[in-house]
Amino acid sequence: MAKAKKKSSRDRILDAAEKLFAQHGFDGVTMRQIMRAAGADVALAYYHFKSKRDLFDAVMLRRVELLNEIRLEALEDLERRHKDNPPTVEEIISAFVNPLLELLAREQGKWRHYYALIAQINNSTEFGGELMTRYFDPLVKRFIGALRRALPECDERDLFWSYHFLSGALTLTFAETGRIDNLSGGICRSDDMDAANARMPAFIAAGFKALCVPRKQSAPKRAKRKTVSRRARK
């Protein structure tokens, strides 16, 4: 807020769109709503971005580059500090998660909406597979490489499924939906990202270490679904 008083209309449109897309999804928002929030006419949105979908893509693209850059830097810093012995699983997870907190601390409102948007995309059948792959997989593969070195005898499939569980836990947590507030009767709060961050790396790292161990066969033992009762028809 020091110098940045003169914000371009393009940025104000992106800000308004980011917030509204995060709250209601791509189809839950109209260009008119966005432009009302941005304080300008609809036609201006089509001047800067030629369609609603292009505006959406611009919202996504605006932050993803910085986010990935900072995460990569966190990982490289970590590896530099551990010249020979690889860093621990927990340290690697922290390098993946901490930058999200750091950015949140920098500009409270903006990143919060962005994370909520990512959570929706990650869990969307329509966009999840495609967009998450396009925007995040190069970085994620880099992190998985580090995890592979920290868990040298790990089966590849266990590694990918473990990351998948991490991804689900992470995006839901940063979506701040308010559910944990209700479930816990108020003793946990969705917007308490420090509380989440104090717990997630330990939780996730334990999962990786439990799953990514050498096996007799490379395939995991199959659970037998024995907990389902025999009266399993309606």
Partner DNA sequence: GTCTATAGCTTGATAGAC
Partner DNA sequence: GTCTATCAAGCTATAGAC
**Contacting its own copies within 113-152 (CB under 8 A):** 116, 119-120, 122-126, 128-130, 132-133, 137, 140-141
C-alpha dihedral over 53, 57, 59, 63, to 10 degrees?
Answer: 170
**Is residue 124 exposed (0-12), middle (13-18) or buried (19+ Cβ within 10 Å)?**
middle
Both tokens of 145, joined, read: 């490489």
Query: Smallest distance from the beta carbon of 25 to DNA, in angstroms?
Result: 11
Task: For residue 162, give the nearest of 92, 80, 87 by alpha carbon.
Answer: 92
What residues from 32 to 61 belong to the interface with its own copies (CB under 8 A)?
none
Distance CA 125, CA 21 (A): 17
Both tokens of 24, joined, read: 């209601």
Return the one option of DNA, its own copies, none that residue 168 interacts with (CB less than 5 to 8 A, by type): its own copies
Return the one option of DNA, its own copies, none that residue 164 interacts with (CB less than 5 to 8 A, by type): its own copies
Return the one option of its own copies, DNA, none that residue 83 interacts with (CB less than 5 to 8 A, by type): none
Query: Smallest distance from the beta carbon of 171 to DNA, in angstroms?
Result: 25
Angle at 141 between CA 137 and CA 143, to 5 degrees: 120
What residues from 57 to 86 belong to the interface with its own copies (CB under 8 A)?
66, 70, 73-74, 77-78
Distance CA 87, CA 15 (A): 38
117 neighbors 59 (Cβ within 8 angstroms): yes
Return the one option of DNA, its own copies, none that residue 188 interacts with (CB less than 5 to 8 A, by type): its own copies
Interacting residues with DNA (CB under 7 A): 9-10, 29-33, 40-44, 46-47, 50-53
Given candidates 16, 35, 45, 190, which one binds its own copies under the rule CB under 8 A? 190
Our finding on whether 215 is near its own copies (CB under 8 A) is no
Which of residues 13 and 119 has its CB atom nearest to its own copies in the complex?
119
DSSP per-residue letters across 141-162: HHHHHHHHHHSTT--HHHHHHH
Place of tokens 């304080």: 39
State residue 12 phi and psi, 5-degree precision.
-65, -35
Q: Which of 2-10, 33-41, 43-51, 112-120 is the region at the interface with its own copies (rule: CB under 8 A)?
A: 112-120
Query: Smallest distance from the beta carbon of 5 to its own copies, in angstroms?
Result: 18
Query: Smallest distance from the beta carbon of 16 to its own copies, in angstroms?
Result: 16
Query: Smallest distance from the beta carbon of 47 to its own copies, in angstroms?
Result: 25
